[in-house]
Chain A
Amino acid sequence: MAYSEKVMDHFSNPRNVGEIENADGIGEVGNSRCGDIMKMYIKVDDNIITDCKFKTFGCGAAIATSSMATELIKGKTIDEALKLTNKAVMEALDGLPPVKVHCSVLAEQAIKAALADYYKKLGIDPEPIVGKIQEECEGGACCNG
């Protein structure tokens, strides 16, 4: 298993690490048993994601996908952020080893969870807009133990 240079770059120098005080939306997905937790913070101004930060417990790919996902939605409209897919995160990182694809799914879900929290705070039911958030991992090999 080898990581691309882009993955190593985002792992070595992750962008947007940290928390946002008074964030407009906070999303957390994954669990410690499986070895990955991602927490995303977003600041929204006039429908634009003006800031996005993350904290991640996980492997190199988990950190790199979190970092790339924040980069991909920063400065974008909410609608654009809602369209972010795990595939887009993977492509932006020049690919991931097959066993690490679930990290990009988690990154997409973390962004969606933060957006769902933003709608909830506004008193809007997020599910019709954001869809169902998969807060836990997919129940793969990691959860069988």
Chain B
Amino acid sequence: MRKIYADNAATTALSPMVLKEMMPYLTTVYGNPSSLYKIGSDAREAVDKAREKVASLIGAKNSNEIYFTSGGSESDNWAIKGLCRALKKRGKNHIITSKFEHHAVLHTCKALEREGFEVTYVDVYENGIVKPEDIKNAIKDNTALVTIMYANNEIGTIQPIKEIGEICRENKIIFHTDAVQAIGNVPINVEEQNIDMLSMSAHKFHGPKGCGALYIRKGVRPDIFIDGGAQERGRRAGTENVAGIVGLAKALDLAVSTMEERTKKLTKMRDRLIDGLLKIERSRINGDRLHRLPGNVNMCFEGIEGESLLLRLDLNGISASSGSACTSGSLDPSHVLLSIGLPHEIAHGSMRLSFSDDTTEEDIDYILEKVPEIVTYLRNMSPLWEKIKKEERNN
């Protein structure tokens, strides 16, 4: 049976080239970067080089604006909690974010609400894109931070980051973006795009799990989040994950250098797949078709439930995600799909496919063959579909 991994938004395969780069730091160069002897200073040198590489790949002015963390969630938590707690001392206790952020941001904002912060959750509309003027209108004298994701993790819609950054700059408000899904897939330049803080995670671009980074513009001072040793210039304690850091830098380098070609290839595949799947009656594509990540397809099929669709896809060798309730352990449908205005019963029937450079045209052909078969099978056993068809006949 054909095996297709179509859940690259969840995580990606570690690139063999990245693993090769990491290997010495998992084996012979095991020194602590804070130690003075040779294998320590060799490790230090590797971390410094990785920092410079990452800085240059996102257009940061200085490599000491890059801080390595354990991943996207830590970066988001540090950026948001750290900055807001620092600015609260100056009377700023208002945050602006959107309704469809990743839970690493949403739940962090909820935690700050419990600490007394006020949070404005701006709308994302049917196309899944934040309107910069909504951000502008939400700004108050006590606004500490605006945090808007670069690209949505479920529907892949890309946000007007530069414009939002400009508004923040004009109003002297710090702007953070969770770029976990976007980085390596779209060109990012923190200087040109007015970004003050940016979160990334290595395993989303064929790097290792457990390693991420936070870009913090010089002069922006979030409170320290992990107290301890003097690592990361005294702002994030803990012995460096040297192999992970080396892997992150190598993976980002590869992702950025192959971006243009890969984007062309994936966009073409994505659009062919969407056009093909839209031929299924009562199906819809979720989120803007143009302003979306090249490898993201997110669709709903009325009358069926997402988990049973993805289990059947799995039985056919296709690894996908439903974005529905059932996978997350909650019974609510995806907050992202509800935020773009889908009713509960349609949001339950969602499917997310996310591709990588390893995806082939043959994979797309196979998915185009299997998905309609599975949708028909599940609809044939669905009393909801029966109702939908009955209503159709009566109208």
Contacts and interface: CB of A to CB of B under 8 A. Distances in A.
Given A35-B348, A57-B383, A99 B311 contact: no
A86 interface: no
B66 interface: no
A140 B324 CA distance: 16
Contacts of A81: none
A55 B381 CA distance: 5
Given A1-B329, A32-B345, A62-B305, A57 B384 contact: yes
Given A11-B311, A12-B315, A37-B384, A99 B329 contact: yes
Nearest to B307: A59
A138 to B, nearest CB: 10
Nearest to A1: B329
Contacts of A63: 308, 381
B161 interface: no
Kindly name the residue among B331, B345, B348 whose own CB sees the greatest number of chain A CB atoms within 10 A: B331
B344 A33 contact: yes
Contacts of A95: none
Interface residues on B, range: 20 to 34
Interface in A47-103: 55-60, 62-63, 99-100, 102
B345 A59 contact: no
A142 B325 contact: yes
B333 A35 contact: yes
A28 B324 contact: no
Contacts of A32: 344-345, 348, 384
Contact of B344 (A14, A55, A145): A145
B308 A35 contact: no
A20 interface: no
Nearest to B333: A35
Contact of B305 (A28, A57, A141): A57
A78 B131 CA distance: 60
A58 B331 contact: no
Contacts of B315: 12
A8 B331 CA distance: 20
B395 interface: no
A37 B386 CA distance: 11
A59 B308 contact: yes
B223 to A, nearest CB: 34
B367 to A, nearest CB: 19
Given A32-B344, A34-B344, A55-B386, 12 more contacts: A34-B331, A35-B324, A55-B381, A55-B382, A56-B381, A57-B305, A57-B382, A57-B385, A58-B305, A62-B305, A102-B331, A141-B330
Interface of A: 1, 8, 11-12, 14, 17-18, 28, 32-39, 55-60, 62-63, 99-100, 102, 140-142, 144-145
> Which A-B residue pairs are the 5 nearest by beta carbons?
A142-B331, A32-B345, A59-B307, A57-B384, A35-B348
18 contacts: A17-B381, A32-B344, A32-B345, A34-B331, A35-B324, A35-B348, A55-B381, A56-B382, A57-B303, A57-B305, A57-B384, A60-B311, A62-B308, A99-B326, A141-B332, A142-B325, A145-B333, A145-B338
